[in-house]
Chain A
């Protein structure tokens, strides 16, 4: 482990921590504008986090220690996931610790903790949300895995850092299988981040909410951690998407100058991605819960088609 790698790693983690709420604010701002409303400020998520961290955290009488542990576990899992997704540099000392499969596992672990904590209190909404969340999750995970395998087939590695290194620095080539994987990934990330065709992040309507139902019993610093983890998860997904499909500009190992140059490019890519997400959310209507399996089955099958096309067309 070299000192530069350590620096790059800690910089990446700090960047994820600070940029994730900003990304959320940016998306919320555009969603408000596109919906013809006046927008909250870009820094609104930071203000919310600040407010929540200074509030008292109220626990239900029936809460077990698991309920108090869950926000920290979820936050830790998602932060670790952010740490192994290369956003600025591919020289990440954490990256060998967890490859693409372990990344999916980390996100699944966070989901399991959230679902258990939601069921822990014993209110109806919590367990309802937990069941829905697991329904979405068990369909989205295989699709995400196959998307990552598509990239692994092209580059011959399951480590995200080396996938990105190969994709970003080889001679530019069009991989048709990545087109399939890209569409599948877009569908999966909409579902996983509780975005509009699957779940509305801004609603507390009991019939439709999934993600919000899980957080209903949390308050104060616990809620702040959960909210922060949600925006970190969105950031991690954005990072995976940019790394697999738009990897240009990510710095190679041992070059601090390239890393600084990669920073504005990352900002630009995230800004465009956030705008696209807001556009998708504004243009589409939320679908019925029983259409969600169909939506995610489509994602899974597109990802499998990507593998098939790769085997037919080769490199």
Chain B
């Protein structure tokens, strides 16, 4: 029985990693949002599985919270955002994509090695997936760094939060409920503020390329 649960958790963890790489190599913003939604759904499934395996009811609540927030509400907001900003088209990355993927592999190796000693201290059933969660955090972080446009950076930020949540679930059966509620609210508010911020950037510079922000003086 627990054999099955560990295996399905491993499968969800692998899906997270596949989705992180898919997001890293995706140029189209619309597809990025779809991938982000799928990633949220994977986190929900993983959390629900851990909740079922350990019998902790508060994890069901956090799964439900994640579902409404990251599978329904935030993707909806993002869809509206890109419709109003009219930015569904392709966005080139700063480094070309095969190089990006190679760096990604190196990050994965580093994350696996970093997490191996930590995971041995944990008593959770999903401790093997800690390395994958850490790799997903690093990959989302790299996605944020390597995009020049603002909307993919926002999506990278949200994906990083997803990965952190997954890490917390796999290492310690989730954070305390208060912390989780706080983070959920923070992400939502952050999302809204970033949305407003994007409109401001576009109004000022007629573009969403954040390179314009590096110039302090008008010339």
B96 cross-chain contacts in A, Cβ below 8 A: 294
Taken together as a complex, chains A and B put the C-alpha atoms of A183 and B17 apart, in Å, by: 13
Q: In the complex, A302→B105 CA distance in Å?
A: 9
Which A residues touch B105, using CB under 8 A? Answer: 301, 304-305, 308
A1 beta carbon closer than 8 Å to chain B: no
The reply on B152 being an interface residue by CB < 8 A is: no
Q: A298-B101, A312-B112 are in contact. Are A305 and B25 (CB under 8 A)?
A: no
B108 interface neighbour in A179, A297, A308, Cβ under 8 Å: A308
With A305-B108, A309-B132: A298-B14 Cβ-Cβ less than 8 Å: no
Docked-complex contact A309 and B17, CB < 8 angstroms? yes
**Among B4-12, B46-54, B183-191, which stretch is in contact with chain A?**
B4-12
Q: In the complex, what's the smallest C-beta–C-beta distance from A187 to chain B, in angstroms?
A: 12
B101/A301 in contact, CB under 8 A = yes
Cross-chain contact of B7 among A174, A297, A311 (Cβ < 8 A): A174
B3 to chain A, nearest CB (A): 8
Which residue of A176, A298, A301, A311 is within 8 Å of B11 (Cβ)? Answer: A176
Contact with A along B16-59 (1 / 0, CB 8 A): 01100100010000000000000000000000000000000000
Interface size on B, residues (CB 8 A): 26
Contact B18 A302 (CB under 8 A): yes
Which B112-142 residues have a C-beta within 8 angstroms of A? 112, 116, 128-129, 131-132
Q: Name A230-284 residues within 8 Å CB distance of B.
A: none
A177 within 8 A of B: yes
Q: Does A293 make an interface contact (CB < 8 A)?
A: yes
Nearest chain-A residue to B96 (Cβ)? Answer: A294
- B102 close to chain A: CB less than 8 A: yes
Residues of B within 8 A of A304 (CB): 105
Give the docked Cα–Cα distance between A62 and B68 (Å).
Answer: 69
- Please tell me if the beta carbons of B21 and A305 are within 8 angstroms of each other in the complex: yes
Given B7, B15, B98, which contacts A293 in the complex, CB threshold below 8 Å? Answer: B98
- List the A residue with the shortest CB-CB distance to B129: A313
Question: A180 touching B18 by the CB < 8 A rule?
Answer: yes
Distance in Å from the Cβ of A303 to the closest Cβ of chain B?
11
Most A CB within 10 A of own CB, among B8, B98, B104, B129: B98
Q: List 18 A-B contacts (CB under 8 A).
A: A176-B10, A179-B14, A179-B15, A180-B17, A183-B18, A294-B96, A297-B98, A298-B21, A298-B25, A304-B105, A308-B108, A308-B112, A309-B14, A312-B112, A312-B131, A312-B132, A313-B128, A314-B128
Given contacts A173-B7, A180-B17, A294-B97, 16 further A-B contacts (CB under 8 A): A174-B8, A176-B13, A180-B14, A294-B96, A294-B98, A297-B98, A297-B101, A298-B21, A298-B101, A302-B21, A305-B21, A308-B112, A311-B112, A313-B13, A313-B128, A313-B129
